[in-house]
Structure 1
Amino acid sequence: METILKIENLYKNYGAVKAVKNVSLEIKKGNVYGILGPNGSGKSTTLGIVLNVVNKTSGEYSWFGGKMETHEALKKVGAIIERPNFYPYMTAEQNLKLVCKIKGTNYAKIHEKLEIVGLLDRKNSKFRTFSLGMKQRLAIASALLNDPEILILDEPTNGLDPQGIRQIRDIINLIASQGTTILLASHLLDEVEKVCSHVLILRKGEILYSGEVGGMNSKDGFFELISDNLSDLKVALEQHPAIENTSEENGKITAFTNTNLEASELNRYLASKNIFLNHLVKRKHSLEEQFLELTKNN
């Protein structure tokens, strides 16, 4: 799979403040990547560096396998890293025509991109009449005009109401389904969990986790169990090497694992000890629970 962007051992210092510390990331074509972290974690700084608007202190990054210089590579990148800034007295279509002139893109793309973001019926409306969500959707249309191979979005749902967030999420899913690689910086964990295939979690500029979203969710989990003899069940669970600890409440035992353990394997183990279950459910921690656990010392 083609590498779109490779970041290696990236550092950025602002005086004594280390905004980015040894960040490495490889973005493969066709995936949706999320960068998560609290305010001040280095998300925007990292994006600014690879977009050539912030100077790095040390480390390396390369676009498209290092086959072209950064300024040439960025012609194949669409990005929104600030609030949408269009001419308020011009219509949506007029604003996008101006962007086409700057990018050297054919006007024919405007209709297609407005349709993707659901603004085709408002193409003749002035920008000043748009809601915040519509302004953000127009910015996405603008970033798509050059048919970029990767779309970079920094906090694209900031300040939006639930409907606006849902619309942006649906647009991201649509763009991704058409083969565009996406890099998304956000603190909205639920949204990232719904749209991203991979996640990078930062705290104070350092990587806490990097990998597939599903891989993160399966790092650990827990079982809910009910049996006619809870005391024997609890003893047997605590003897299993994959069970880290247990708790009992309302006639049900919750068993927390320290490694991946399948429900069928646990069921067989308990049956071998003549313990038979009335209830067995395996659950995973949500991305939000994992994130809060990772960043609780922030």
Structure 2
Amino acid sequence: METILTISNLNKIFNKRVHAVKNVSFEIYKGNVYGILGPNGSGKSTTLGIVLNVVNKTSGDYKWFNGNLPTHDALKKVGAIIERPNFYPYMTAEENLKLVCKIKEIPYSKVNEKLDLVGLIDRKDSKFRTFSLGMKQRLAIASALLNDPEILILDEPTNGLDPQGIRQIRDLIKLIASQGTTILLASHLLDEVEKVCSHVVVLRYGEMLYHGSVDGMLSNEGFFELKSDNNTHLKETLLNHPSIDSIKEEEEDKLFVYLKDSLEANELNKYLFEKGIILQHLVKRKNSLEEQFLQLTNKN
């Protein structure tokens, strides 16, 4: 797969004491949607700022497109929104984008193409100041796409939007990705990453806790919901099974059984039946991204 961005042992220390990015390394491959996930202050925006050449790194390295281009030239193939959309309020959407085209020496023909892509072609003659926050964000995305970038970088793209605006941005990200553009977005919203990203980098206090596919993060052993007419005996029997890690007693007299090794529902049911236990309830569930994220970030 073609490598878009390689980050190697990246560090950023502010004022000789705040270690904002700690030895972070990961790669971004063409055609995927990557999320940098972490709470506020985890180093997401600093990492993006470094690779976009607006924040100086302390140590480590990064290279665009296998290092085949100088950073200045490589960034011409990158579209990015890392701050609030900033256009002239008394100019129309079309006029604002034409100004960007003029500055970046991009053909004006791209303006309508990108306005149509982000669903604003019908509002191209409307002044920017009349736009909702969600429309302003979509116009910013259109602006970042004018040069047909190979990768689009978005920092908290749905921040401050209402539910309708959030859905529009998420649908737009999926549409852009489906057309072959690689996307890297930073977010503190688990739901956002789970719904739009194929890969995720989890940061906490500048340290990388996980890097890989979203499915890979979710493909843990999961847990079972169980119930019988004698949960005390059920619990004692379960604790003797080698694949079971822990058991919690939850609502409605159910046992939540967490695994340390792979175990299928039919295997567990057979094991309990052979021990003389008939189950009233048996459901296997997968941990949500939220549960996985909390497990990662709560570790010391």
Q: Normalised by the size of structure 2, how large is the TM-score?
A: 0.94
What letter corresponds to residue 197 of structure 1 in structure 2?
S
Quote the Cα distance in structure 1 between the aligned partners of 2:214 and 2:96. Answer: 37
Q: Alignment partner of 2:134: what SS?
A: helix
- 2:265 aligns with 263
Q: How many residues align?
A: 298
What letter corresponds to residue 2 of structure 1 in structure 2?
E
- 2:146 aligns with 145
1:138 is displaced (CA, Å) by: 0.2
Percent sequence identity is 75
- 2:82 aligns with 81
What letter corresponds to residue 275 of structure 1 in structure 2?
I
1:214 is displaced (CA, Å) by: 1.5
1:208 is displaced (CA, Å) by: 1.5
Quote the Cα distance in structure 2 between the aligned partners of 1:43 and 1:291. Answer: 15
Quote the Cα distance in structure 2 between the aligned partners of 1:218 and 1:240. Answer: 21
Quote the Cα distance in structure 1 between the aligned partners of 2:77 and 2:3. Answer: 14
- 1:106 aligns with 107
1:139 is displaced (CA, Å) by: 0.2
- 2:10 aligns with 10
1:297 is displaced (CA, Å) by: 6.6
- 2:282 aligns with 280
* More moved, 54-63 vs 259-268: 259-268
* More moved, 53-62 vs 278-287: 278-287
What letter corresponds to residue 254 of structure 2 in structure 1?
K
Question: Is contact 1:218-1:260 (8 Å) kept?
Answer: no
Matched, 1:188 2:186: no
Quote the Cα distance in structure 2 between the aligned partners of 1:32 and 1:264. Answer: 36
Question: Is contact 1:88-1:126 (8 Å) kept?
Answer: yes
Question: Is contact 1:151-1:181 (8 Å) kept?
Answer: yes
Matched, 1:71 2:72: yes
What letter corresponds to residue 17 of structure 2 in structure 1?
A
Question: Is contact 1:88-1:127 (8 Å) kept?
Answer: yes
Quote the Cα distance in structure 1 between the aligned partners of 2:271 and 2:114. Answer: 56
1:283 is displaced (CA, Å) by: 1.1
Quote the Cα distance in structure 2 between the aligned partners of 1:201 and 1:83. Answer: 24
CA deviation profile, 1:37-77 (whole Å, cap 9, x unmatched): 11111100100111111111111111111111111111111
Unaligned runs of 5+ in 2: none
* More moved, 14-23 vs 238-247: 238-247
* More moved, 57-66 vs 257-266: 257-266
What letter corresponds to residue 191 of structure 1 in structure 2?
E
- 1:62 aligns with 63
CA deviation profile, 1:67-122 (whole Å, cap 9, x unmatched): 11111111111100011011111100011111111222111111121111111110
Alignment of 1:216-235 (within 5 A): 216-235=217-236
